[in-house]
Amino acid sequence: MTKENVIEIKNLSYRVEDRYILEDITLEVTPGSLLGIIGPNGGGKTTLLKIILGLITHYQGEVRVFGHRPDQLGEDRHRIGYVPQHSHIEQNFPASALDVVMMGLYGKMGLGRFPRRKDYAKAREALALVDMEEAANKQIGKLSGGQQQRVFIARALVNDPDLLILDEPTLGVDAKAMSSINDTLLELKESMGLTMIIVSHDIGIISISADSLACMNRKLYFHQRPEELDRKTLEEAYACEVEMLFHGELPHRVVERHR
C-alpha cells in the first residue's frame, strides 16, 4: 500500500461455494476523498464494505486499510466509523439518542467499565455535529427516520474516525431528510477532514458529491470521476436498459426499464 492511500484493494475476489459475490475488484481511496459506490441490489456492495471492515476475512487478493489487513488493524480499528443500513427500531425501544451514541464508545472503554463524565460529554459532542444535541434525552424509537439516521451517524463519529463508511445512509427517509443528511455528511467531510465511502442508490446525489465513483455488480465496471460515467457502463452494470437524465455534466437519475 502506498502512503497516499487510506484503502488499497488489488484483485479482490470472494465467493460462497461456487458463486462469486465479488470478482477481481481493484480500487483505492485517497485521504480526504469521498468514494461513492453504486450498483444493483445483490451486486456485492455491502459485502465489499464488510471485507474493508474486517468482518469477512476469507477472500482472494489483497486488501489494506491504513496499511494493514482489515482483520489485523488492532487499535487502528477505532479510526473507522461505520453506519450500517438503516434498520427498523421499535417505537418503545428503551434507549435515548444519547444511549445509542454511547454504544459507539463501549468497545474503546472495555468490558465492565462504566462511562465517565467525559464519555457522556464526548457523546453529546457527536450529537451536536449532526444537529441532534437537543434530542439527546429523547427515546430513539420516537424520532423520525431521518433523525434516527443522524443519531447513528453520531454513533459512528464518537471515536473521531479518520474513515467513515456509510451503507445507504438515506435509505427509507423522505426527500427533505435525504437532502439534509447528505449536506451534513459533506460538511462533516470538510470540517473533520474525513475520508468517506458511501454506498447509495441515489446516483444523482452521489455523483455530485463524490470525488470518485465505483459502479459494481460483482465486478467493478467503473472507478473514475463521476462525470466520466456513461450510459453504456450503467447498462452493463445494471444488466438492463437505463435512461440517464443529466444535471449539468453529471448523471442526475437512472430509470430501469425491466425486461
pLDDT per residue as tens digits for the range 102-141? 988 876 666 666 778 899 999 999 999 999 999 999 999 9
Output the pLDDT for position 115: 77
> In the predicted model, is pLDDT for residue 244 greater than 60?
no
Output the pLDDT for position 254: 47
Residues 151 and 232: their CA atoms lie apart, in Å, by 38
> In the predicted model, is pLDDT for residue 79 greater than 60?
yes
Which ranges of the chain would DSSP assign to H, the alpha helix?
Answer: 45-52, 97-109, 117-129, 145-157, 175-192, 203-209, 231-238
> In the predicted model, is pLDDT for residue 259 greater than 70?
no
Structure-block grid coordinates of residue 189? 467531510
| DSSP E strand boundaries for 124-240 | 163-167, 195-199, 212-217, 219-224
Q: Mean pLDDT over all residues of the chain?
A: 87
Helices (runs of H) and strands (runs of E) counted in the chain: 7, 11
Sole residue written with cell 435512461:
243
What's domain 7-257's architecture?
A: 3-Layer(aba) Sandwich (3.40)
Structure-block grid coordinates of residue 253? 437519475
Long-range contacts formed by 243-248: CB under 8 A, 24+ apart = 247/204, 247/208
Output the pLDDT for position 33: 96
> In the predicted model, is pLDDT for residue 5 greater than 50?
yes
CA distances from 15 to 12, 18, 43, 79, 228 (A): 10, 7, 12, 28, 30
Sole residue written with cell 458529491:
209
Give 27's strand partners. Answer: 9
Min mean pLDDT across 68-82, 142-156, 219-233 is at 219-233
Coil, strand, or helix at residue 52?
helix
Long-range contacts formed by 237-245: CB under 8 A, 24+ apart = 237/39, 237/40, 237/43, 238/39, 238/40, 239/40
Sole residue written with cell 455530485:
208
Percent of the chain with pLDDT over 70: 88
- The whole-model pTM stands at 0.88
Residues 6+ apart with CB under 8 A from 207: 36, 213, 226, 227, 229, 250, 251, 252
Output the pLDDT for position 246: 45
